[in-house]
Structure 1
Amino acid sequence: MAALEEEFTLSSVALGAGPDGLLGVEQSDRADQFLVTDGGRSVVLYKVSDQKPLGSWSVKQGQIITSPAVCNFQTGEYIVVHDNKVLRIWNNEDVNLDKVFKATLSAEVYRIHSIQGTEPLVLFKAGAIRGLEALLAEPQQKIESVISDEEVIKWTKIFMLYRHPLLLFITEKHGNYFAYVKMFSSGNLSKYSLLLGQEEKPVTLNFTAYMDRKFISLMSLSSDGCVYESLIPIFSSDTEKYQRVVKSVLLKAVVSGNVGSGAALAILDQDHVAVLGPPLSSSKDCLSIWNIKFQTLQTSKDLPQGTSGQLWYYGENLFILHGKFLTVIPYKCEVSSLAGALGKLKHSQDPGTHTIPHFVNWETSQGCEPRLQNSEQPRRILRRKAIEASLQTEVPASEQLFSTIKKDSEKHIEVELRKFLAVKRTPDFHTVIGDVLTGLLERCRAEPSFYPRNCLMQLLQTHMLSYSLCPGLMEIALEKSDVQMLQVCLQQFPDIPESVLCACLKIFLSIDDQSLQEINISMESVFDCSDAIQDEKMEEQTEILQNGFGPDDDNCSNCNQSLREKPRDASEEATPCPVIPKRAALLNAVLHSAYSEPFLLPHLKGVPAQHITLFLQYLYFLYLKCSENATMTLPGIHPPTMSQIMDWICLLLDANFTVVVMIPEAKRLLINLYKFVKSQICVYSELNKIEVSFRELQKLNQEKNNRGLYSIEVLELF
């Protein structure tokens, strides 16, 4: 899964971009600072976190910057080329570029590459490459021609291979494209011809690449709207003559055909690429992230002000020229796997229970023929025959049920469904259950007054469903505010989207107490939190363990004193539960649900402030109860864990901190949370001291060789 976060403008001043946009965005020697070279005369150093420029340098009138400025990571200096041959080097203290170091070269420069771990490399338009130090020692040295006449460099990228730089550059001649790989560890230069594998030759708009062990994966975005991939070997067997590499289609129709030059491509990791350009059947620019492993569109963002067709990426930030302003769009890419798409997995499972299939077995679905492998063919044929034999007796029953769902009353459907669920289950039973539920949901949409709640609950009781199998179930439950059904879905479905999870949370917090009292809700995750019972339990205890927490501590200096002092009476510290037990049970179902933090945070911003405060108060109450015993756990059958409580406190504060700070009712709560964190820091600080003391003692024992002699040592920890 991938997500594009909220964008922000790096500078409020319009950049002097040329007709082709900016020359480049390059990282400086500090991770948060970037050099932006416009299409004219200026270089600006920006700090992304502050969204402001730190310095600006310009060449004098009549001069034009022809290569983007880069940073020399070995010295911290900046390098730029203007008028194709003039090289300038300066640092942060310099103000006027006309007075900094200058070197005039003997050949035109295409661009300068700089990467951590090596000196900057200068690539000339003729294909020759020189190290910066050797070039500065003799600026007028002769530069040889590597590429042929009329061959033009289109794109280039530098990599690090075993602590040595490797430079890849792409050239074009009469519509044919070539790839050159220069290895500086051996000095070899390999040339490859990029073949499309078909007669048509669409114009290549943009390139991107990443290196993986023995190959460079070169991806290209073409005018036909497709992304192609070429695997270029790093270690070539024949460096005398160029070899041929076939381009294969990686993604089809990611942008509209005949888009022109306003499109760009950037590979974010081995499974995700970012594409800048208008999507199919649209003329508006759009930024999208595609999963090349599963061939799916992950997320997209419209760019109404238009772009220059340029895209840069560093760390987890994408840089584009949106209109006339340089815009930064943070992004997140999770591990590309079907399991990863489900978010966080459930923390635990009850002992003695068996794993229940939550998803459809596509090999046994009706109308689908399983693909047979040679090694498994006999077993699968026998299994398919067994399924077909068992279905001969069950198909009439299922067909009769489907017919009943379409026309009969809710009461009659409920009776027929109960009969169907009582028969012997077949291997494809979960598939039939999904079809039955789909039929019920379709009739619910067609007839607003039709809501067979008892039938839906019966199907949920089979534990054969998941959100991906029946997404309409929770949608209808949300429309009807059926909190009992939503609670059951949250308890059973491991693949609920974050938007639906947040919608459930809004309903659980907004429904009034009187309505909740009339609803049958599972209370197994809720313990009795009445003050009387809690006070009685506290009086029966001979000692109260506080785990180093003192609610009224103002600073760390009081922590030691609070640890030695006798705790106050339990009744003075008892905190009433801010919600009724049934609402607590619903909120606990949310705490137990799977989620992915980057995708949940944007939806939490839409929860009303008073509901956020109520949820925080409940989480704070749970945290207090967890802190009252040494095991740091709550009583009950399926209570929330400390990890879940802390994760949700952090989520709510991250998403709504600015709003919560402005609410008077939340002031005391925030102060209590602050004291909690402060006291825990003190406790962990003391524990670290003890740990260090034990480590030192262990070292002393290892150094000493007592040869079996008996000795007594006293170690004072405080």
Structure 2
Amino acid sequence: MAVLYEGYTLCGLAPAQTLTSSGVHGIELERDGDHVLVTDSERSVTLYKVSDQKPLCSWTLKQGQSLTCPVIYNSKTKEYVAVSDHKVIRIWKEDEITLDKAFKATLSADVWQVHNTQGAEPVVLFRRGAIRPLDSLLSAPQQTVEDVLTHEEVLRWSTNLNADSQHCVIFTTEQKGDHFLYLQRLNPNGLQKYRLETEEPGLSPLNFSVSFRDQHICLLYFYPNGRVYQSVVPVRAVVGDGSQALTLPRRLLLSLPVGDGLLEAASALILDEAHVCVVGVPHPSAGTGKDFLCIWNIHFQTLQAGKEMTGKIYGQLWSFSNKLFIPHGKSLSVIPYECPKSCLASALGKLRQTRTVEGKSPPSVPSWSNILHGETVPPSRAADARKTRTSRKTQSMPSLTMDQIFDLIKTEPAEKVQQETEAFIAKLDSHDLQNVVGQLVSALVSRSLTDTSFYTGGLLSQLVQTRTLCHSICPELVVLALGKRDYFLCQICLQFFPDIPEAITCACLKAFISMTDSDAELINLEPDAVSFMDMLITKDHAQVGFQNGFSPTSVQNDHQMGDGRGSAVKEHTAASLETCPIILNKAVLLNEILQTPYSENYLLPHLKDLSTQNVIVFLQYLQFLYLKYSQDAFLQRKDLRSPTLNQVMDWVCLLFDAHFTVLVMTPEAKELLLKLHTFVKSQVKLFSELGKIEGSLQEINKMNAKKDIGQYSIEVLELY
């Protein structure tokens, strides 16, 4: 899942008096990903080292002059190239103190922008669409420049890229409400013109973004109504008249919520083939009047990360070396981000839990393949049971519409809302259920947060068990369940939501461990998970010997010390095998935490918020699980929901990483650490022996492949 890390300020800004412009004219890479050139809209350009958050050099024009396009860095000549007053090209090196002594050349036509690609010669794009290499212009600055655009056509945006070893300049234009795309190929030269499909009358794209993948140029454009489209442009020249505009097909990628009215200052930027970054669009779960920076997964239509930005948003956004540069208020901020490779499992989960639980009803969420090809998915057993339970009610009750249900949720008591909503969803098929449940849960949670006397925990639990939800649809659901101490709802959310953020996982962990035993005994939890823990605690374990790389004998041997501590450890270990350090219901909830998908990098910072006592209790429980699993290899039944041994060991390591110093300095943890060290040591020993066996078997396989053995033979294989 994509993530936005903590950002920092690169520099302050001096916005225009009207607050419509940030004052930043452009940001360009310099020598590497850690150096950028920031050009303001007036007279200066500054070189920053991003990691140090400090300026290295700054150059300023004289009063009355202005920079009219972003300054670029020519990596071939180690020189900076700027355009002042639309026609004057200036070139200088880093050791130049002022721009007065820089090389200057006055051109015959107005320049739109100078484009530079790493390893390629800079090119100059003129306002009337002509393109010239920088070298040729410097050799003859007053050469005639042709008009590529028609009389009323105006250039709006441009960029450049290397596409399959082909340097291309791409720019868009507008003429009487129509928008066009030009693709200029260089070496060899070739120009292709495309007409973009029109949106609603009067709407022009707010911004464009391009990327190159799968031998095609992907153009993304973003409209004020929140719609994000993508068009695919072929790199190779299209057969036909280059002056004739071809219609460029498009497809809708996202339809973002814009609230009331249209967007004025917003921007969308391609991060990779699956992720788009958007700024200036309201967050689906936040109130109006707040500006956010969000990362959306365009393959699965999910919001992956969001960060509120303080101050005014100007609709500007740049990305270099996995860092986002965004002007807001009076600051230019740098926000690092990460977008792991996109797949369905990583968009809705993190591929952490590989063992599937058999015996469960299949989810009613249709697969993406089924959606694309129009196949139907049979409803889950939960949905069938729900329809059976409410069939008699629905026969005698008048059916309500979706709008009427929402009106009920806003005003009626919890009992009536639950009754009417159950009757409403009972008559829906699986496809309609997929579209409706998310809206119902959001409405129920929204009222529960504003009206403390209203809460429909039973109804929310039923909706979650339809398996048509994920955490990103209603991020406040688990938080609400924790606030209401509805731990059954927390449990099923942990089971059915594969995209729960690590911060929420840790919040659940802290709540479960801190719960009093008297409160835990009153909770009704999912039966299969309770059955597993009941079997684990009450089962008589008479088995001895090595299981999963551990045996009580190994503990005794590893702790034969002169001070007699070995016997004490042995006695305590035997006692631990029979006694769970926490009561059954707490253990069931902690098992859900162990099986929740997570990413280690994102989980560790939140684990550090746990108190030392909570960490010790959790480690004691993990030790109990490890001992039970080590003594009986057949505890993990596929028909019961239970954590795996690998998950147990992973969480032991996570807690050590997050609290190593505190645990070492805590006297109560000394004996626990000693025993857990033995467990890890036994696992290392097991895998070491397995590695030796693997190597031996590989050698045997090689030996057998070389020999021609007859029908009858006796061979002696010596393993050493």
Same fold (TM over 0.5): yes
What amino acid is the match of 2:7?
A: F
Deviations 1:211-260 (A, max 9, x none): 45465443333456554555544432224313143676843764764655
- SS of aligned partner of 2:117: coil
Deviation at 1:306, TM superposition (A): 0.9
- Map of 2:516 onto structure 1: 512
- Map of 1:37 onto structure 2: 39
Work out the CA distance in 2 between the residues paired with 1:544 and 1:217.
Answer: 51
Work out the CA distance in 2 between the residues paired with 1:273 and 1:115.
Answer: 22
Work out the CA distance in 2 between the residues paired with 1:137 and 1:293.
Answer: 46
Work out the CA distance in 1 between the residues paired with 2:530 and 2:224.
Answer: 60
2:361 equivalent among 352, 356, 360: 356
Whether 2:267 is the aligned partner of 1:264: answer yes
Greater Cα offset, 184-193 or 493-502: 493-502
Whether 2:321 is the aligned partner of 1:322: answer no
Work out the CA distance in 1 between the residues paired with 2:391 and 2:257.
Answer: 42
- SS of aligned partner of 2:70: strand
Deviation at 1:394, TM superposition (A): 9.1
Q: Do the aligned partners of 2:296 and 2:302 also contact (CA within 8 Å) in 1? A: yes
Whether 2:659 is the aligned partner of 1:640: answer no
1:67 equivalent among 66, 69, 74: 69
Work out the CA distance in 2 between the residues paired with 1:58 and 1:684.
Answer: 64
Work out the CA distance in 1 between the residues paired with 2:223 and 2:430.
Answer: 47
What amino acid is the match of 2:12?
A: A
- Map of 2:56 onto structure 1: 55
Change (3 A) 1:319 1:694: farther
Whether 2:12 is the aligned partner of 1:14: answer yes
Q: Do the aligned partners of 1:191 and 1:239 also contact (CA within 8 Å) in 2? A: no
- SS of aligned partner of 2:188: coil
Change (3 A) 1:27 1:150: same
Name the count of aligned residue pairs: 642
What amino acid is the match of 1:44?
A: L
- Map of 1:347 onto structure 2: 354
Deviations 1:96-123 (A, max 9, x none): 365997463645543333334x314222
Whether 2:592 is the aligned partner of 1:589: answer yes
Deviations 1:98-156 (A, max 9, x none): 5997463645543333334x314222325343455x44983648363352456543221
Using the size of structure 2 for normalisation, the TM-score is 0.65
- Map of 2:219 onto structure 1: 218
- Map of 2:163 onto structure 1: 161
Deviation at 1:168, TM superposition (A): 0.7
- SS of aligned partner of 2:219: strand
What amino acid is the match of 1:177?
A: H
What amino acid is the match of 2:309?
A: L
Query: Unaligned stretches of 5+ in structure 2?
Result: 400-407, 409-414, 710-714
Work out the CA distance in 2 between the residues paired with 1:691 and 1:392.
Answer: 55
- SS of aligned partner of 1:10: strand
Work out the CA distance in 1 between the residues paired with 2:317 and 2:620.
Answer: 45
Deviation at 1:321, TM superposition (A): 0.8
- Map of 1:422 onto structure 2: none
When the two chains are superposed, the root-mean-square deviation of aligned CA atoms in Å is 6.5
Work out the CA distance in 1 between the residues paired with 2:114 and 2:687.
Answer: 49
- Map of 2:404 onto structure 1: none
Change (3 A) 1:468 1:301: closer
Deviation at 1:320, TM superposition (A): 0.6
What amino acid is the match of 1:359?
A: S
Work out the CA distance in 2 between the residues paired with 1:316 and 1:466.
Answer: 33
Work out the CA distance in 2 between the residues paired with 1:670 and 1:66.
Answer: 67
- Map of 1:182 onto structure 2: 184
Q: Do the aligned partners of 2:89 and 2:107 also contact (CA within 8 Å) in 1? A: no
What amino acid is the match of 2:363?
A: H
2:619 equivalent among 617, 620, 632: 617
Q: Do the aligned partners of 1:170 and 1:178 also contact (CA within 8 Å) in 2? A: yes
Work out the CA distance in 2 between the residues paired with 1:204 and 1:100.
Answer: 41
Work out the CA distance in 1 between the residues paired with 2:50 and 2:672.
Answer: 32
2:319 equivalent among 302, 307, 313: 313
Work out the CA distance in 1 between the residues paired with 2:694 and 2:59.
Answer: 55
Q: Do the aligned partners of 2:194 and 2:247 also contact (CA within 8 Å) in 1? A: yes
Work out the CA distance in 2 between the residues paired with 1:294 and 1:633.
Answer: 37
Deviation at 1:318, TM superposition (A): 2.2
Work out the CA distance in 2 between the residues paired with 1:479 and 1:20.
Answer: 41
Work out the CA distance in 2 between the residues paired with 1:277 and 1:452.
Answer: 35
1:241 equivalent among 217, 240, 243: 243
Deviations 1:185-213 (A, max 9, x none): 53211123435266x33344322233454
- SS of aligned partner of 2:69: strand
Whether 2:80 is the aligned partner of 1:79: answer yes
- Map of 1:124 onto structure 2: 125
Q: Do the aligned partners of 2:620 and 2:672 also contact (CA within 8 Å) in 1? A: no
Q: Do the aligned partners of 1:273 and 1:290 also contact (CA within 8 Å) in 2? A: yes
- SS of aligned partner of 1:585: helix
Work out the CA distance in 1 between the residues paired with 2:310 and 2:708.
Answer: 80
Deviations 1:327-369 (A, max 9, x none): 1234455777766553146532456x4x51332789xxxxxxx
- Map of 2:278 onto structure 1: 275
Change (3 A) 1:429 1:690: closer
Query: Unaligned stretches of 5+ in structure 1?
Result: 363-369, 418-424, 552-558
Work out the CA distance in 2 between the residues paired with 1:255 and 1:429.
Answer: 29
Deviation at 1:307, TM superposition (A): 2.7
Change (3 A) 1:487 1:168: closer
Work out the CA distance in 2 between the residues paired with 1:144 and 1:685.
Answer: 72
- Map of 2:411 onto structure 1: none
Deviation at 1:170, TM superposition (A): 1.8
Using the size of structure 1 for normalisation, the TM-score is 0.65
